[in-house]
A and B are shown apart, each in its own frame.
Chain A
Amino acid sequence: MIYHFLHRDFLSNKINWIINFIIIAICCVSAAFHPAILFILGVVLLFFAIIPLQSLTGAAWRSQHVMSRNYLLSLPVPRRKMFFIVQMRALVFAVPVIIYALIMPFYSPFFASVVLSASSHYLIYFIMLVLAIVWMINSAIFSNLIFEKITSYLTKVERTKAWMTNMVIFFGELALVICSFTMTGESFSATLLGFAVVTAIVTYRFQRTQKAWLGQ
């Protein structure tokens, strides 16, 4: 089942993947002359992971020519499984940025100081990285769904209140995720604390998104 979706996604995004690999190759060669280019590559790969989200996740907005959430939900597939498939489909596009973030500590002194103080830290860093990407995917799906819902609220006060609340929660989570990453490498207990915080945030966001996506 997952293969059915991934295969279709790959065919739909073949050109994007090719362009992405060309950019990676150019950046890697150019980095020999100026290492700062590697940071630009990071931004490019992050965008590569973010851009397909709208079309993969079953957009709530009634944008034309995007697979709608209602279509996915109407298929004879268990809906929780479908939600998991959506996550996997989005995660595939984040693989390049994950690999990038795993390799960077060996090249960049900034990354190295953060995570390479011990191998256990590196393992935690890897898991946290994947979790942070899962958080990003779920935040993107959730914001699509919640902001459409908010626009239908009757009063302006309610709309503003709901909008503000969601923005505060989003930026709060983002700040906690970033702080947790900066803690990795300081000490083992600090790394573990950061890991626990990211895990809690991802679990919370995943559950809220799943509920919203299933229309519950």
Chain B
Amino acid sequence: MNHEIQIKNLDYVPRGHAKILNNLNADFVQGSFVALLGENGAGKTTLLDMIMGFKVPSSGELRVRGELPVNDQWQLRQSIVYLSEKMDIPGDWTVRQYLKFNRYFYHHYSDELEQTLMKEFHVNENSRLGSMSAGEVRRVQIVGALATEPTLIIVDEITAVLDIVGRRRFMARLYEQNKKRGCTVILATNILEELERYISDVIIMKAGQISVFAKIENFLKTQDNASFAQLVADHLEAK
């Protein structure tokens, strides 16, 4: 069992703030599909930012494939993609220009897969990004990200802006990458619809702490006749 991400006693207290992450401990196994859930402000994005090395922990330790992200092991990022609502690309670029720009950085970029994904996500390569809706821009980013054939995919809240068809196709693609290629997926989301079909583990964060970290089958067994969404809501509402 290989460790993808190891978190030990992780705290994050930025200046002028209350504690955002409070004594986090977790171990993400390679090949798992983890749903990171929690109320707004629970610390999901901050945790993902730390995994990507955008923020430095105040104390404790976080390792991605045995390395500290803040040490900038940039070669690792050849196989890691990050999809976030906070990521944007210039509006004056066309889809083709963006994909060409993005492709340059990745050794394993698959042009064939890019073409397949473009068809699947209805992406027109001549469209200008500035004239597209938020959901359409995310579809373009999904194409650019998945075509790099990553082994770790980090997704922060982008499913919320995708329409039902786009979301379903995106989730199916993530699932396929996870099952066929053993790719680890960490998905922070507030959209619980059909989520339990795809994930292997669930993490629920509350006020900067992990209140639940369980295998999906064990989590679903905690209460009979309750749907996944109900279970999550109950956990979040419980004091």
Contacts and interface: CB of A to CB of B under 8 A. Distances in A.
A50 interface: no
Interface stretch (A22-30, A118-126, A153-161, A194-202): A153-161
Interface residues of B, number: 38
Nearest to B81: A74
B70 A216 contact: yes
Interface string A50-90: 00000100000011111110110111111110000000000
Interface stretch (B30-38, B85-93, B169-177): B85-93
B87 A215 contact: no
Nearest to B129: A65
Given A4-B101, A74-B52, A74-B81, A67 B17 contact: no
Contact of B89 (A11, A65, A155): A65
A76 B88 contact: no
B54 A73 contact: yes
Nearest to B75: A76
Contact of B18 (A12, A65, A154): A154
A64 B132 CA distance: 11
Contacts of A162: 16
B52 A73 contact: yes
A208 interface: no
A67 B105 contact: no
A165 interface: no
B56 A215 contact: yes
A12 B90 contact: yes
Contacts of A55: 90
Given A73-B54, A153-B17, A79 B88 contact: no
Nearest to A7: B101
Contacts of B52: 70, 73-74
A76 B105 contact: yes
A68 B82 CA distance: 12
B190 interface: no
A73 B84 CA distance: 13
Contact of A68 (B14, B55, B86): B86
Nearest to B86: A70
B72 interface: yes
Tell which of A65, A70, A153, A215 has the most Cβ of chain B within 10 Å: A65
B53 interface: yes
A65 B88 contact: yes
Interface string A127-164: 00000000000000000000001101111001100100
Interface string B96-139: 01000100111000000000000000000000011000100000
Contacts of A154: 16-18
A65 B90 contact: yes
Contacts of B15: 153
Contacts of B101: 4, 8
10 contacts: A12-B93, A67-B88, A68-B86, A70-B84, A71-B87, A73-B52, A74-B77, A74-B87, A75-B105, A215-B49
